[in-house]
Amino acid sequence: MENGAAQPVIVAIDGPSGTGKSSTSKAVAAQLGLSYLDTGAQYRAITWWMVTSGIDIEDPTAIAAVAGKPEIVSGTDPLDPTISVDGTDVAAAIRTQEVTSQVSAVSAVPEVRSRITELQRSLAAAAEQGIVVEGRDIGTTVLPDADLKVFLTASAEARAARRSGELKGADVAATREALIKRDAADSSRKTSPLAKADDAVEVDTTELTLAQVIECVVTLVEEKRAGK
Ligand SMILES: Nc1ncnc2c1ncn2[C@@H]1O[C@H](COP(=O)(O)OP(=O)(O)OP(=O)(O)O)[C@@H](O)[C@H]1O
Ligand SMILES: Nc1ccn([C@H]2C[C@H](O)[C@@H](COP(=O)(O)O)O2)c(=O)n1
């Protein structure tokens, strides 16, 4: 650019549950002065609204009919990401087991996906310095022209151990089964399933520390910016 200002950079980070997408994306965005969007939080937020509104989660037609109703607002500061529904802060409420166990069913409904995808694209377009967007279908569907696409993976054992460490005292085997079940549902839905984009860089984080994964992604972004 003539004035030397950096072009906004769009980074898509996808992968299964517990591979480190949120931790990595937040840190990379903070380090590089970019915005950050947790798209899983948006699907959790609409699921929370469906559950608290008494919508039958087993009925995709009922979900589709009200998918446009809740107003979901995401704050994109990586140091203080926020999520609200109709003005209520739901950051804690969307992390309950009740929401986690139902989010795959709600997020499989095409009307939900088109509504949330539109929100995600408008937030990405508004990010002046650029944005790190993490989820399941960012590189394939939401932002197919992203400057950099990363697909994080890790063994089910490593992911379960990480999650069990978070949920103190949680049974590792049960956590592993729950992760595998959610990934299978997210990967097998018809509309924009969890998938690696053909042009994504795959990073297996099983044997890497979080700091190593962050460094790896920061380097990939810097290489892209340098035109390498
Ligand atoms: N490379 C790593 N080594 C060890 N622990 C890690 C690593 N990456 C992430 N973690 C830890 O694993 C847990 C899950 O990470 P995180 O929430 O970032 O994953 P995620 O892919 O966003 O998961 P989900 O899709 O379920 O939201 C966190 O406690 C995080 O600190
Ligand atoms: N781009 C996305 C992001 C998330 N989802 C769905 C599928 C996940 O199981 C759920 C919760 O995501 P998490 O908070 O665990 O990252 O949301 C999706 O379908 N597409």
Residues 112-139: tens digit of each pLDDT: 999 999 999 999 999 999 999 999 999 9
Number of domains in the chain: 1
SS (H, E, C) 88-121: EECCCHHHCHHHHCCHHHHHCCHHHHHHHHHHHH
3-class DSSP assignment, residue 120: helix
User: Is the complex ipTM more than 0.90?
Assistant: yes
Ligand 2 atom closest to the Cα of residue 14 is 1
Q: What is the pLDDT of residue 167?
A: 65
Q: Is position 100 within any domain?
A: yes
Tell me, rounded to whole angstroms, the distance of Cα 180 from its chain centroid.
17
Residue with CA at minimum distance from ligand 1 atom 31: 23
Q: What is the CATH number of the domain that holds 99?
A: 3.40.50.300
Ligand 1 atom closest to the Cα of residue 166 is 29
Residue 159: pLDDT above 70? yes
Q: What is the pLDDT of residue 160?
A: 92
Confidence class for position 227, pLDDT limits 50, 70, 90:
confident
Q: Is position 2 within any domain?
A: no
Residue 5: pLDDT above 80? no
Residue 201: pLDDT above 80? yes
Question: Whole domain around residue 92: which residue ranges?
Answer: 8-218
Q: Is position 224 within any domain?
A: no
Residue 4: pLDDT above 60? no
Indicate which ligand has the atom closest to the C-alpha of 155.
Answer: 1
Q: What is the pLDDT of residue 51?
A: 98
Q: What is the pLDDT of residue 165?
A: 73
Q: Is position 223 within any domain?
A: no
Question: Average pLDDT for residues 144-160, to the nearest whole number?
Answer: 97
Compute the mean pLDDT over every residue in the chain, rounded to the nearest whole number. 95
Question: Average pLDDT for residues 77-98, to the nearest whole number?
Answer: 98
Q: What's the chain's length in residues?
A: 228
Q: What is the pLDDT of residue 164?
A: 80
The Å distance, Cα 220 to ligand 1 centre, comes to 19
Give 131's strand partners: 10, 35
Q: Is position 139 within any domain?
A: yes
Q: Is position 3 within any domain?
A: no
Q: Is position 74 within any domain?
A: yes
Residue 63: pLDDT above 60? yes
Global pTM value: 0.96
Cβ(154)–Cβ(148) below 8 Å? no
Q: What is the pLDDT of residue 169?
A: 64
Indicate which ligand has the atom closest to the C-alpha of 142.
Answer: 2
Q: Pick from 225, 206, 203: which is nearest to 215 by CA?
A: 203
SS (H, E, C) 22-56: HHHHHHHHHHHCCEEEEHHHHHHHHHHHHHHCCCC
Angle at 95 between CA 108 and CA 128, to 5 degrees: 75
Q: What type of residue is 224?
A: K
Q: Is position 15 within any domain?
A: yes
